[in-house]
Amino acid sequence: MVLGLLGLAVFVVPLAGLLARVPWARLPALLGGDVVTDALRLSAVTSLAAVAISAVLGIPLAWLLARVEFPGKRVVRAVVMLPLVLPPVVGGSALLFALGRRGLVGEALGDATGLVLPFSTLGVVVAATFVAMPFLVLTVEGGLRSMDRRFEGAAATLGAGRWTVLRRVTLPMVAPSLVAGVVLTWARAFGEFGATITFAGNLQGRTQTLPLAVFVALETDRDTAVAISLVMVAVSLIVLAALRDRWWGAR
Amino acid sequence: MTAGLDARFTLRRSEAFRVDVALQIPPGVTVALLGPNGAGKSTVVAALAGLLPVDEGRVVLDGTVLDDPAAGTLVPPELRRVGVVFQDYLLFPHLSVLENVCFGLRSRGAPKDRAAAAGAEWLDRVGLGGMAARRPGDLSGGQAQRVALARALAAEPGLLLLDEPLAALDVSTRSGLRRALAEHLEAFGGPRLFITHDPAEAFLLADEIHVLEDGAVTQAGTADDIRFRPRTPYAADLAGFNLFRGTAAGATVDVGPHALAVADDRHRGPVLVTIQPVAVAVHLAQPTGSPRNTWATVVERVEDLGSRIRLQMGAPLPLAAEVTRAAMTEMGLEPGRRVWVAVKATEVGVEPGTGEG
Amino acid sequence: MRLRMVGLAVLVMAAAGCGGVGSDPGGEIRVSAAASLTDAFASIEQAYEDAHPGTDVVLNLAASSSLREQILEGAPVDVFASANLLNMQVVADAGMVVGEPAVFAGNTLQIAVPPGNPGGVSGLADLSREELLVGLCAAGVPCGDFAREALALAGVEAAVDTDEPNVRALLTKVIEGELDAGIVYTTDVAAAGSVVEGIAVPAGHNVAAEYPIAVLAGAPDPVGAEAFVAFVLGAEGRAILAGHGFTLP
């Protein structure tokens, strides 16, 4: 009981500290400023793009890990999990060395297509995808592993080919894991800071997401920083609560 | 081209365990694969459905080779048209009852409305027309079984496999569903194979019985072949099962020298009567109380089955009973001993038909 | 229930108290110094510890504005060395400085470019070229404010691609070649060596940064703090600072 309350305090006390600093009277003016609206728009776009890319690439990867036996699978899974434990700044540096203008891949990419990822919005998406996709891969892999595969066999005896089985049986049956993975992935992408500032830099309207805006504002305009933090808390709470009721609560 | 199923194959599940089966089932014939748990029955279903490739041999359905490792032929399950009712039905939990039933037609490219119409018709046929919008989780076991059957049949299979279709149901609903199942099997024109560990189901539903023990068929033939000429201890154990032909007249069934009172009073004419050996009570004096069927008889034979003792009774009815070893010692049961037997009317199973294909 | 809540409050306060008081005050001097002082203060730390055996100087290096916020929030710090007067003034205005802050060093700005100067940058005017990737320190960070002042003096509207959180982060991205140019301190270019080239900013447009240092009112070790400040302002400290390219007052 005491430990439980103490555990709750770990979450509540910092939140209370934040709320105590909110300049309520100036809040509308602060939130209406273009720094905040730019960052909010950019955060929404980049976090959703990261979720979309994670889904397109992460579901097949989860499939490989759950269903296909191949040598070195343990190593592959460890590599997939790496961004979960790596400090985001390290991840950002790694991205810079790989995809930067003079990076391993980035230089060839730039020569071939003229595409430069650092200091671009696309770079923010890449950084967010890098740190967030493991959540999707691991939850979907778990869902695929715990699913009763005999349902797929049953579908096959009813004439369903591999693609139909995937679309009409496997994916719907792992939907709870998929939704949980998407939510976790989005949350991680939405809150991403370290890899973004290291790899994509910080420029209002182009690469300055809400967490970066908070960080910069903290040193220049504390009230704005608090206001942005409040926005992040509110958006996160709304999304998590809504999805929880709709998807997890119902099950 | 030979119509029906012709399958002879070997499938190795492990170093120690292999399944060896030869099955020929003409269209319109029901074969039961009867065996104890772990005999390899479900492996046979998986092999015929294409979910497990066989290691040797051939599987041919209506002249089409489905599996022939020597020739490198293996038709995947989705192209086989083999309908399966799985033991726990495996209805898709995220789809409605109707969507489950339509699944086969939709997978083969039927337009949505045509598939839905056909599916609805199948639901009507199994008496679940009102359940179309329900989820499988809302169904009783018996309803789920009928949906599974409708789902398999709606896909228009050339062969129907049923893996313990009644095992998941409780005893009270089993008899009624067995009868309904018999009717649906009869309506399906192709070969039918059903798997069971329950001799009553095999005797009542199948034209031909294959006894599968430890991966191998130890005996094949009609119910009477198995019962009267058992070749293995397992089959001999099945032989103790009481099965009589008789003529029903409502609450009584005339079984030759004796008339049995039955609780199931809906039948008239030729029927099959089943009585589980453990449902037969043995007394030294005439029992009093509720049993409707009591008569005096004599113990003809005593068989030691290990934990239980089987008693074969003489006239007026060749009834088998099972008692504990303690009861045998206590009552001094031995050949020639005069006893009373009692069977509750509710323990007498009645099935219409003669039990012959 | 009420008793348990009180117990909880006590626990929480005790935890907070631990962080506020700090551990061993003797032998440990906590110095919060601007990121641009990284190399110079590492040398000063070494020299001070050699001169005062048993004393441990703990450096906390970050943008002056970050350090200012930490101090205002009550972080246990003995000495604050800022890269501009403004941040020191905010701390002094809060009544958290002992005596008057003293200016101990000065710095000028340079344009840092990767070796070979791939962007062909020759002066502040080039920073308006759209095709170049240009970085500054964020506004509010001293190097960022100075850079913007210098650009205003030169009448240049820079096409900025990133506002880096501190001067070291900015310099790193120039060194990696991810940026074609960034406005940093002369001392940073000197410290980086051959991995980066410095383009001079003409004196008319340059802005002279002044570095103030002060002992903090809440210093856990005021005696050690005074001694460290005296060392920085003394002959040895001045020599080290000059060696790292700082101008001296």
The domain that holds A220 is classified in CATH as: 1.10.3720.10
Chain C residues with CB inside 8 Å of A215's CB?
A: 165
Let me know whether C99 and C177 are in one domain.
no
pLDDT in tens, B137-179: 999 888 999 999 999 999 889 999 999 888 877 766 776 787 7
Across the A/C interface, how many CB contacts are shorter than 8 Å?
80
Structural domain count, chain C? 2
Let me know whether C91 and C214 are in one domain.
yes
Whole-Å CA distances, B273 to A129, A168, B6 = 69, 45, 33
Residue C1 binned pLDDT confidence (cut-offs 50, 70, 90): very low
Q: How far is Cα C249 from Cα C240, in angstroms, rounded to an integer?
A: 14
Whole-Å CA distances, A86 to A83, B157, C47, C58 = 5, 54, 35, 26
B163 neighbors B108 (Cβ within 8 angstroms):
no
pLDDT: which is higher, C17 or A69: A69
Q: Provide the 10 A C-beta neighbour count for residue B247.
A: 15
Nearest C-alpha neighbor of B271 from the set B329, B155, B351, B334: B351
Q: How far is Cα B349 from Cα A206, in angstroms, rounded to an integer?
A: 79
Chain A residues with CB inside 8 Å of B152's CB?
A: 157-158
Chain B adjacent subunits, 3+ CB pairs under 8 A: A
Q: Of the ranges A188-197, C21-30, C203-212, C221-230, which one carries the lowest mean pLDDT score?
A: C21-30
Asked if the model's pLDDT at residue A40 lies above 70, the reply is yes
Show the low-confidence residues of chain B (pLDDT under 70): 1, 171-172, 175, 228, 230, 236, 239-240, 289-291, 305-306, 352-357
Encoded tokens for B299: 């113990």
pLDDT: which is higher, C66 or B351: C66
Let me know whether C196 and C229 are in one domain.
no
Across the A/B interface, how many CB contacts are shorter than 8 Å?
64
Let me know whether C226 and C160 are in one domain.
no
Segment holding B79, helix H or strand E: none
Which member of C5, C69, C135 has the closest CB to residue A201? C135
Nearest C-alpha neighbor of A66 from the set A166, A185, A188: A166
Chain A residues with CB inside 8 Å of C179's CB?
A: 119
β B338-343/B293-304 pair status:
antiparallel
Give phi and psi for B78, each to the nearest 5: -70, -15
Asked whether the beta carbons of residue A219 and residue C138 sit closer than 8 angstroms, the reply is yes
Query: Is C218 inside any structural domain?
Result: yes
Surface of C (93-132) touching A: CB under 8 A: none
The residue to which tokens 């003016």 are assigned: A29
Query: Is C58 inside any structural domain?
Result: yes
C197-200: strand order across its sheet? C160-164, C134-137, C181-185, C109-113, C197-200
Q: What is the pLDDT of residue C7?
A: 40
Q: What is the pLDDT of residue B98?
A: 94
Query: Is C185 inside any structural domain?
Result: yes
Nearest C-alpha neighbor of B282 from the set B235, B221, B331: B331
Query: Is C176 inside any structural domain?
Result: yes
Asked if the model's pLDDT at residue A110 lies above 90, the reply is no
Which domain CATH number covers C55? 3.40.190.10
DSSP 8-state code for residue C247: B
Exposed, middle or buried, B15 (CB in 10 Å: 0-12/13-18/19+)?
exposed
Secondary structure class of B5 (helix, strand, coil)? strand
Q: Of the ranges A78-87, A210-219, A240-249, C103-112, which one carries the lowest mean pLDDT score?
A: A240-249
Let me know whether C129 and C65 are in one domain.
no
Residue A246 binned pLDDT confidence (cut-offs 50, 70, 90): low
Please list, in sequence order, all residues whose beta carbon lies within 8 angstroms of the beta carbon of residue A100, skipping any fewer than 6 positions away: A106, A117, A118, A199, C176, C177, C178
pTM of the model: 0.73
Structural domain count, chain A? 1
Query: Is A16 inside any structural domain?
Result: no
Q: Any contact of C with B, at least 3 CB pairs below 8 A?
A: no
Q: What is the pLDDT of residue C115?
A: 93
B237 neighbors B303 (Cβ within 8 angstroms):
no
Q: Which domain holds residue A189?
A: 41-245
Let me know whether C163 and C87 are in one domain.
no
Let me know whether C65 and C25 are in one domain.
yes
Asked if the model's pLDDT at residue C172 lies above 70, the reply is yes
Q: Provide the 10 A C-beta neighbour count for residue B8.
A: 15
Chain C residues with CB inside 8 Å of A204's CB?
A: 163
Q: What is the pLDDT of residue A193?
A: 92
Asked whether the beta carbons of residue C69 and residue A5 sit closer than 8 angstroms, the reply is no
pLDDT in tens, C94-136: 999 998 999 999 999 999 999 999 999 999 999 999 999 999 9
Secondary structure class of A60 (helix, strand, coil)? helix
Calculate how close chain A gets to B35, using CA atoms only, in Å.
Answer: 22
Q: What is the pLDDT of residue B290?
A: 59
R_g of chain C, CA atoms, integer Å: 20
Predicted ipTM beyond 0.85: no
Asked if the model's pLDDT at residue C36 lies above 90, the reply is no
Q: Does C63 reach chain A within 8 Å, measured CB to CB?
A: yes
C110 neighbors C185 (Cβ within 8 angstroms):
yes
Query: Is A50 inside any structural domain?
Result: yes
Query: Is A33 inside any structural domain?
Result: no
Q: How far is Cα B81 from Cα B107, in angstroms, rounded to an integer?
A: 12
Let me know whether C119 and C142 are in one domain.
yes
Query: Is A113 inside any structural domain?
Result: yes
Chain A residues with CB inside 8 Å of C91's CB?
A: none
Query: Is A19 inside any structural domain?
Result: no
In the Cβ-directed half-sphere of B55, how many Cα atoms lie within 13 Å? 12
Buried b (16+ CB within 10 A) or exposed e, C23-51: eebeebbbbbbbbbbbbbbbebbebbeee
> Average of pLDDT values for A198-222?
87
Query: Is A235 inside any structural domain?
Result: yes
Query: Is C249 inside any structural domain?
Result: no
Q: What is the pLDDT of residue A168?
A: 93
Residue C158 binned pLDDT confidence (cut-offs 50, 70, 90): very high
Mind giving me the DSSP string for C67-107? HHHHHHTT---SEEE-SSHHHHHHHHHTT-EEEEEEEEEEE
Query: To 10 degrees, what angle do helices B97-107 and B112-125 make?
Result: 130
Segment of A50-64, B168-182, B304-318, C15-29 carrying the highest mean pLDDT: A50-64
A119 neighbors A126 (Cβ within 8 angstroms):
no
Instruction: Tell me what percent of the residues of chain A surpass a pLDDT of 70.
Output: 97
Chain B residues with CB inside 8 Å of A250's CB?
A: none
State whether the Cα torsion B124-B126-B127-B132 is positive or negative.
negative
pLDDT: which is higher, B225 or C55: C55
Q: How far is Cα C207 from Cα B120, in angstroms, rounded to an integer?
A: 84
- Chain centroid to Cα B328, Å, comes to 32
Calculate how close chain A gets to B71, using CA atoms only, in Å.
Answer: 23
pLDDT: which is higher, B252 or A167: A167
Asked whether the beta carbons of residue A219 and residue C8 sit closer than 8 angstroms, the reply is no
Calculate how close chain A gets to C178, using CA atoms only, in Å.
Answer: 6
Query: Is A70 inside any structural domain?
Result: yes
Asked if the model's pLDDT at residue A65 lies above 90, the reply is yes
Please list, in sequence order, all residues whose beta carbon lies within 8 angstroms of the beta carbon of residue B13, skipping any fewer than 6 positions away: B19, B40, B43
Encoded tokens for A127: 């950084």
Please list, in sequence order, all residues whose beta carbon lies within 8 angstroms of the beta carbon of residue B115, skipping any fewer than 6 positions away: B102, B105, B106
pLDDT: which is higher, B23 or C21: B23
Q: Of the ranges B77-81, C3-7, C43-47, C118-122, which one carries the lowest mean pLDDT score?
A: C3-7
Which member of C7, C163, C169 has the closest CB to residue A2? C7
Please list, in sequence order, all residues whose beta carbon lies within 8 angstroms of the beta carbon of residue C87, skipping any fewer than 6 positions away: C64, C65, C67, C68, C142
Q: How far is Cα A57 from Cα C198, in angstroms, rounded to an integer?
A: 43
Let me know whether C124 and C87 are in one domain.
no
Query: Is A120 inside any structural domain?
Result: yes
Asked whether the beta carbons of residue B90 and residue A173 sit closer than 8 angstroms, the reply is no
State whether the Cα torsion A25-A30-A32-A36 is positive or negative.
negative
β C109-113/C160-164 pair status:
unpaired
Calculate how close chain A gets to C53, using CA atoms only, in Å.
Answer: 35
Q: What is the pLDDT of residue B291?
A: 58
Asked whether the beta carbons of residue A159 and residue B107 sit closer than 8 angstroms, the reply is yes
Let me know whether C45 and C102 are in one domain.
yes
Query: Is C170 inside any structural domain?
Result: yes
Asked whether the beta carbons of residue C161 and residue A220 sit closer than 8 angstroms, the reply is no
Query: Is C238 inside any structural domain?
Result: yes
Query: Is C3 inside any structural domain?
Result: no
Q: Which residues pair with B281 in a beta bridge?
A: B342
Chain A residues with CB inside 8 Å of C75's CB?
A: none
Encoded tokens for A171: 């994916």
Nearest C-alpha neighbor of B258 from the set B293, B299, B282, B289: B293
C161 neighbors C135 (Cβ within 8 angstroms):
yes
Q: Does B83 reach chain A within 8 Å, measured CB to CB?
A: yes
Which member of C7, C8, C164 has the closest CB to residue A202? C164
Hey, what amino acid is at B161?
Answer: L
Asked whether the beta carbons of residue A158 and residue B152 sit closer than 8 angstroms, the reply is yes
Asked if the model's pLDDT at residue C24 lies above 70, the reply is no
The residue to which tokens 């039933």 are assigned: B101
Chain A adjacent subunits, 3+ CB pairs under 8 A: B, C
Q: Does B152 reach chain A within 8 Å, measured CB to CB?
A: yes
Q: Which domain holds residue C137?
A: 109-200
Let me know whether C102 and C220 are in one domain.
yes
Chain B residues with CB inside 8 Å of A156's CB?
A: 50-51, 76-78
A95 neighbors C178 (Cβ within 8 angstroms):
no
Which member of A151, A159, A175 has the closest CB to residue B90? A151
Let me know whether C13 and C91 are in one domain.
yes
B160 neighbors B83 (Cβ within 8 angstroms):
yes
Chain C adjacent subunits, 3+ CB pairs under 8 A: A
Asked if the model's pLDDT at residue C15 lies above 70, the reply is no
Secondary structure class of C26 (helix, strand, coil)? coil
